[in-house]
Structure 1
Amino acid sequence: MTTALQPFVENGSEIADADTAPHNLDAEQAFLGALLYDNEMYHRVADWLKPAHFYDPVHGRIYETAADLIGRGSLADAVVLKTQFDRDDGLREIGGTTYLAVLMEGAVTGNAAVEYAKIIYELALRRELIRIGHDLANAASADADVQARALIQDIEQQLYNLAEEGSASRGFVSFKQALAESVETASAAYEREGGLAGISSGLKELDRKLGGLHPSDLIILAGRPSMGKTSLATNIAFNIAKAYRYEEQPDGTRKTVNGGVVGFYSLEMSAEQLATRLIADHTGIPGYMIRQGTIDAAQYEDIRDGVLEIQGLPLYIDDTGGLPISALAARARRLKRTHGLDLIVVDYLQLVTSSRARAGASRVEEVSEVTQNLKALAKELAVPVIALSQLSRQVENRDDKKPQLSDLRESGSIEQDADVVLFVYREAYYKEREKPREDTPEYLAWEEEFRRIEKVAEVIIGKQRHGPIGSAKLHFDGMLTKFTDLETRYDDESD
């Protein structure tokens, strides 16, 4: 958040100096005086007013020091701050520690102080907008190698960051702030049902292993064709969208309290095909029957009623094929800005294209760029990103068909960038291909074994940066292409 205080430079000369950059030192002095006079004022602005928003660096340091003292439950007035600033050269230039007393003498109170804080924040945003505008003008006129669309996407990212946090760059974060964020995560885990720190996937066994889907995590969900990775990702997205609950905030925004808003990039299947899967999931009517029209009147009524029930869910589908990673990121930022965003699903990784394909670049290098950008996007938007990935054929050549990290296709940086790597594995898929002739003695033994494993799937946790590896067993219904909790399913069937 330091960029708002930097001078704007063009060809070595300042574009905006202390006389022309938007600022109001009187407002900064009035607010700081109010803060030192009444420390409770800090709690009314702490969520959005930061030290970097002050134009005068000394004012920023005064605010930061006062905020630190108040945060620790200590008094922050001119007397206390005097010991903190006795050797501050910047403060000495504008009157020394007596300047602190002058600030308190000119203090305003109540709503007036908050209004001054809003002025400080607004002018900081305007200075940052000027910087972004000059950067764009310089890049558009000087760098002929950069495509205009790439410039638009870059500026859109900076504007998004500015709208979200008041600065185009977070910069360094103090250890104290990092600890506070860690405690908030632990508190969320303690207060959530089931002790989850992240968003529930809707699958209890998987949640127990992962602790939910965590903001800023890149989750790779991999498997061989027909293993069900798209089905699992779709089920998780649907579960989260169905569980969405929010609270209205005083500023008009919405705070997610359960479930979430989902952005689903379906690069292989059309939005209509994906919607058909979700209708099958919700109604229990197989998708192939819906597509073929082989349903009866009662099933048609169930579908119609089901559609009415789920049509308002916060699940947004983008089925653009061959989407560049830069465009994917830009659309995700736009979705978060307009509707909110709590989870991104990308189906699948190898279909996302590199933003700036380089001559001679290998496919491994391109996929590596995509994974690096997806991880950066997860951190930027503070949401989990689930990216589906293909596995190489080498898994088919082993006696043990369970996938391993080395089976990730074009795995240059997939394993490195991912916080979690999950593999979908169904033993029944391979067992079915070993089916002997029905008139042989081996058939009965095969049939008994196949029936035992037919609807059992395993999600193997091949990597988890913040927890142990292991596996979670799920129930899989091939007719509905649906994953559910294994224990719950068996309990239902036994009733």
Structure 2
Amino acid sequence: MNQPKPYNQNKVDRSTVISLEKGKIPPQAVDLEEVVLGAMMIDKQGVYEAIETISDNEDVFYKDAHKYIYTAIFDLFADDSPIDLLTVSDQLKSKAQLDLVGGDFYLIGLTQRVSSSAHTERHCRILMQKYVQRQSIKVASVILEEAYDETKDIFDLLEESQKALDDTSEWLLRKKAENLSSVFDKLIENSKNPQASIPSKFTKLNKRTNGYHPNDLVIIAARPGMGKTAFVLNEAKFQSEQGIPVGFLSLEMSDVELVGRIIANEFGIESSRIKQNQLTPSEKEVIRKESEKIKKLPIHIHDGSETTVNEAKTIIGKWVRQEKVRIVYVDYLQLMRGSTNNKNGNREQEIAQISRKLKAIAKEFQIPVVALSQLSRAVETRGGMKRPQLSDLRESGAIEQDANVVQFLLRPEYYKIDEWDVDMRTPTAGQCELNTAKTREGSLGATVLDSSELKYMRFKDLKDFDDSWKDNEFKPEPLSPDQAFEPRNHVDNENYDDDLPF
């Protein structure tokens, strides 16, 4: 049976001493432990309900004897063996633990404590609460000890503390299986809610993916120079203008640089001139007068080049709780650090840990997490359009596995490619392709966008032939079926010639 990892194995004894010095008994419910174990030995339903709630964590039980008994029952369950008073006794005997729990007499006493497995789940929930309380005391005690250690890095202390508390709280957040009826009702309720998904700025992308969905990890990947950050800033600005609070975790650019790009997008000023402080007096005056419009956008920015994935979870959790943030952008994934406990692992394992954690964050807070990602140099050695593939995702195949949606951004103009590889061979100048290479919902395929104003950090929908009619006031009205087959008016057309050879 798997043993749950303690917060710090070397300091568990110290934390216990601190608790004893306070003269308080750790939180416990031994009487309920007896009831749960008794129910498991007399009723198979009790076994299912207890294991579904507690799983393989015998430490939920406070008393050592009860830990041994629960482990014996769990092992029998895992082996598909029958579970009753006799089989549990034999299992304990095989491990030389029967005398440690008080012998058969104690087991018989447990079965006599209950007459059925009614309320077993409720009892297990209470035991879990007591377990979390005990673990919290241990974590707090270790934090207290390490806070006095002058050699301990404060950021490592905060990160380890947060992780320990997160690991402890996960036991209370264990999700119970639901029946089809309740899930069906949830689906119908979500379909009635127009805010269930976050819209994209781009019409064709909305049609392909229906925007950004809660619980999803979306990866937008490209080589440097394609405009990844500008693209997601366009999305963030558009969504915030719709009143949707947005979070932006920037590990590459400072918050001042990001705001400069938003200003460039809003006022049509070259971002390079904003960065180099080369604005004219008239431009500064326009920005000053219209500044309130930008300041009111519900965009929350955190720039930290050394942000870890656990720190990101803390920041995002605060945004969701306090600012009601509904979508988060991460720029970019490869700059994020994994847990400090993974220092000895390779980079691929660290990236895999980060992508899994970002996916877990999206599910826990029920928001879309959109993470930018770098691609390998294999793209640039490829011939033709240099169109990215899923195998180009840098450093980890886990990114592809964890992501609900993977999209690639490509500007062929960057590679001096003048024409698209399509039948019409249209120019690539000022255009980019957003290719949806993976999606668990929606459809795969490429969407061409207009990036001709990238110096202003602007992306927009590219009008095709059908779109051009929408803005043309002289667009002809379609003919009705009767009009389509009416004879032509010979008088109105002087060049009409019906002298045909047939």
Instruction: Provide the TM-score with structure 1 as the length reference.
Output: 0.63
* Counterpart Cα distance in 2 of 1:141 and 1:179: 45
Q: Which residue of 1 aligns with 2:42?
A: none
Which amino acid in structure 1 is aligned with residue 185 of structure 2?
Answer: A
Q: Which residue of 2 aligns with 1:368?
A: 352
Which amino acid in structure 2 is aligned with residue 299 of structure 1?
Answer: E
Local SS of the residue matching 2:456: coil
Identity %: 31
Pairwise CA distance, 1:270: 0.4
Residue ranges of structure 2 left out of the alignment (5+ in a row): 1-15, 20-24, 34-52, 54-114, 147-151, 474-502
Change in Cα spacing, 1:307 to 1:419, as seen in structure 2 (3 Å) is same
User: Is residue 136–residue 151 contact of structure 1 (8 Å, CA) maintained in 2?
Assistant: no
* Counterpart Cα distance in 1 of 2:294 and 2:394: 36
Q: Which residue of 2 aligns with 1:420?
A: 405
User: Is residue 156–residue 330 contact of structure 1 (8 Å, CA) maintained in 2?
Assistant: no
Aligned partner (choices 360, 366, 381) of residue 397 of structure 1: 381
User: Is residue 140–residue 151 contact of structure 1 (8 Å, CA) maintained in 2?
Assistant: no
Q: Which residue of 2 aligns with 1:273?
A: 257
User: Is residue 161–residue 169 contact of structure 1 (8 Å, CA) maintained in 2?
Assistant: yes
User: Is residue 220–residue 372 contact of structure 2 (8 Å, CA) maintained in 1?
Assistant: yes
Corresponding position: 1:183 with 2:158: no
Q: Which residue of 2 aligns with 1:240?
A: 239
CA RMSD of aligned residues (A): 3.8
Q: Which residue of 1 aligns with 2:178?
A: 173
Corresponding position: 1:487 with 2:463: yes
Corresponding position: 1:211 with 2:194: no
Local SS of the residue matching 1:487: coil
Change in Cα spacing, 1:486 to 1:356, as seen in structure 2 (3 Å) is same
Local SS of the residue matching 1:479: helix
* Counterpart Cα distance in 2 of 1:459 and 1:242: 23
Q: Which residue of 2 aligns with 1:291?
A: 275
Which amino acid in structure 2 is aligned with residue 404 of structure 1?
Answer: Q
Change in Cα spacing, 1:293 to 1:175, as seen in structure 2 (3 Å) is same
* 1:224-258 C-alpha deviation (Å, 9 max, x unpaired): 100011111111111111111xxxxxxxxxxxxxx
User: Is residue 265–residue 345 contact of structure 1 (8 Å, CA) maintained in 2?
Assistant: yes
* Counterpart Cα distance in 1 of 2:126 and 2:288: 50
Q: Which residue of 2 aligns with 1:149?
A: 158
User: Is residue 474–residue 485 contact of structure 1 (8 Å, CA) maintained in 2?
Assistant: yes
Q: Which residue of 1 aligns with 2:41?
A: none
Q: Which residue of 2 aligns with 1:133?
A: 133
Change in Cα spacing, 1:492 to 1:153, as seen in structure 2 (3 Å) is farther
User: Is residue 136–residue 165 contact of structure 2 (8 Å, CA) maintained in 1?
Assistant: no
Q: Which residue of 2 aligns with 1:222?
A: 221
Q: Which residue of 1 aligns with 2:438?
A: 463
Larger Rg: 2
* Counterpart Cα distance in 2 of 1:92 and 1:450: 70
* Counterpart Cα distance in 1 of 2:119 and 2:342: 54
Corresponding position: 1:453 with 2:428: yes
Change in Cα spacing, 1:479 to 1:359, as seen in structure 2 (3 Å) is closer
User: Is residue 221–residue 388 contact of structure 1 (8 Å, CA) maintained in 2?
Assistant: yes
Q: Which residue of 2 aligns with 1:350?
A: 334
Local SS of the residue matching 1:466: coil
* Counterpart Cα distance in 2 of 1:285 and 1:236: 19
Corresponding position: 1:321 with 2:305: yes
User: What number of residue pairs does the alignment pair up?
Assistant: 352
Change in Cα spacing, 1:491 to 1:240, as seen in structure 2 (3 Å) is farther
* 1:437-482 C-alpha deviation (Å, 9 max, x unpaired): xxxxxxxxxxxx9993211111000100123211111111122121
* Counterpart Cα distance in 2 of 1:133 and 1:92: 22
Local SS of the residue matching 1:453: coil
User: Is residue 197–residue 212 contact of structure 1 (8 Å, CA) maintained in 2?
Assistant: no
* 1:66-90 C-alpha deviation (Å, 9 max, x unpaired): xxxxxxxxxxxxxxxxxxxxxx936
Which amino acid in structure 1 is aligned with residue 132 of structure 2?
Answer: I
Change in Cα spacing, 1:158 to 1:492, as seen in structure 2 (3 Å) is farther
Change in Cα spacing, 1:367 to 1:480, as seen in structure 2 (3 Å) is same
Q: Which residue of 1 aligns with 2:111?
A: none
User: Is residue 406–residue 436 contact of structure 2 (8 Å, CA) maintained in 1?
Assistant: yes
* Counterpart Cα distance in 2 of 1:340 and 1:490: 39
* Counterpart Cα distance in 1 of 2:173 and 2:365: 13
Change in Cα spacing, 1:313 to 1:161, as seen in structure 2 (3 Å) is farther
Change in Cα spacing, 1:20 to 1:402, as seen in structure 2 (3 Å) is closer
User: Is residue 218–residue 384 contact of structure 1 (8 Å, CA) maintained in 2?
Assistant: yes
User: Is residue 197–residue 210 contact of structure 2 (8 Å, CA) maintained in 1?
Assistant: yes
Q: Which residue of 2 aligns with 1:475?
A: 450
User: Is residue 215–residue 366 contact of structure 2 (8 Å, CA) maintained in 1?
Assistant: yes
Q: Which residue of 2 aligns with 1:24?
A: none
Which amino acid in structure 2 is aligned with residue 467 of structure 1?
Answer: G
* Counterpart Cα distance in 2 of 1:394 and 1:92: 59
* Counterpart Cα distance in 2 of 1:182 and 1:18: 41
Which amino acid in structure 2 is aligned with residue 479 of structure 1?
Answer: K
Which amino acid in structure 2 is aligned with residue 352 of structure 1?
Answer: M
